[in-house]
């Protein structure tokens, strides 16, 4: 079990620079086990460590794994250009922790977005070699037909791709909505595939990654949660 001084613990959890964290501790803002700790050099084991800061309890986490139900009009970028970044939805300390989106959703696409400060996790989840299916619900301008779903299953040619791209599965939900499952993560892929098949995507929502579904997480738009080990296992390739 690792043991760290209290200032390093607060810094690692995204509460600011070591200097600022030392000031918080000296000012009596940190409580552990019901007792106020004012010595920043005090050492604590990090496994299962809970502490209270500004009256709110936090659990020490070496890394954070977050699921967000992304609303529309937020950019999946640390340096957004036209809309607020998704990090503005989360508490400020996640920015200090260098939390980043895992992949990207377009600014007008909603639904399940993973975020983490674990570089290995981000790389693994983003790698096309892992073949992790992602489930989308697309709303279309023109009616959904068997011919349309058939085209998406057979594969459509996009002008900058060497070979046709096909959906892993595709089914009609109602007259103007379909569910499409993709393993690739190409730029604007669902929208471009629908356009290539002669339709237009007017709204897009990601409902699942692997076996982790937004419905099971019970997150309203704009809400987020930590993912536990069992939920992270659902992100494994099928």
Instruction: Assess whether pLDDT exceeds 60 at residue 58.
Output: yes
Q: What percentage of the chain carries pLDDT values higher than 70?
A: 98
Least confident interval from 35-49, 116-130, 188-202: 116-130
In which band, very low, low, confident or very high, does the pLDDT at 130 lie, cut at 50, 70 and 90?
confident
The whole-model pTM stands at: 0.90
Read off the pLDDT of residues 174-189 as tens digits, 9 standing for 90 and up: 999 999 999 887 788 9
With 60 as the cut, is the pLDDT of residue 1 above it? no
Per-residue pLDDT tens for 25-34? 999 999 999 9
Q: Could you give the residue numbers annotated as active site? A: 106
What span, in angstroms and rounded, lies between the C-alpha atoms of 147 and 172? Answer: 11
The gap from C-alpha 115 to its chain's centroid, in whole angstroms, comes to: 4
pLDDT at 77 over 80: no
- How high is the pLDDT of residue 134? 94
Instruction: Measure CA of the first residue to CA of the last residue in the chain; give whole Å.
Output: 33
As a whole number, mean pLDDT of residues 57-61 equals 94
How far apart (Å, rounded) are the C-alpha atoms in residues 130 and 123? 10
* Span 59-82, average pLDDT: 90
Q: Which domains does the chain possess?
A: 3-59 (3.10.290.10), 65-128+212-233 (3.30.70.580), 133-209 (3.30.70.1560)
Residue range 32-52: mean pLDDT, rounded? 94
Residue 112, C-beta contacts closer than 8 angstroms, at least 6 positions apart:
67, 68, 69, 70, 206, 207, 208, 209, 212, 213, 214, 217
């Amino acid at each position: 079990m690792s043991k760290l001084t209290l200032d390093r613990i607060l810094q690692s959890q995204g509460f600011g620079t070591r200097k600022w964290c030392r000031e918080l501790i000296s000012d009596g803002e940190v409580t552990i086990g019901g007792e106020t700790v004012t010595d920043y050099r005090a050492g604590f084991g990090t496994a299962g460590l809970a502490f209270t800061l500004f009256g709110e309890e936090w659990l020490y986490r070496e890394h954070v794994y977050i699921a967000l139900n992304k609303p529309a009009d937020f950019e999946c970028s640390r340096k957004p250009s036209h809309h607020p970044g998704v990090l503005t939805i989360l508490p400020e300390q996640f920015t200090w922790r260098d939390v980043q989106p895992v992949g990207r959703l377009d600014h007008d696409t909603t639904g399940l977005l993973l975020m983490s400060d674990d570089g290995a996790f981000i790389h693994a989840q983003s790698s096309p070699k892992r073949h992790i299916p992602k489930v989308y619900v697309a709303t279309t301008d023109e009616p959904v037909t068997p011919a349309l779903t058939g085209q998406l299953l057979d594969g459509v040619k996009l002008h900058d791709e060497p070979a046709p791209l096909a959906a892993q599965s595709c089914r009609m939900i109602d007259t103007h909505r379909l569910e499409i499952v993709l393993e690739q993560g190409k730029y604007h892929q669902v929208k471009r595939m629908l356009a290539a098949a002669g339709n237009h995507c007017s709204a897009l929502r990601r409902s699942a990654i692997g076996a982790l579904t937004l419905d099971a997480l019970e997150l309203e738009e704009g809400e987020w949660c930590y993912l536990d080990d069992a939920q992270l296992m659902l992100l494994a390739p099928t």
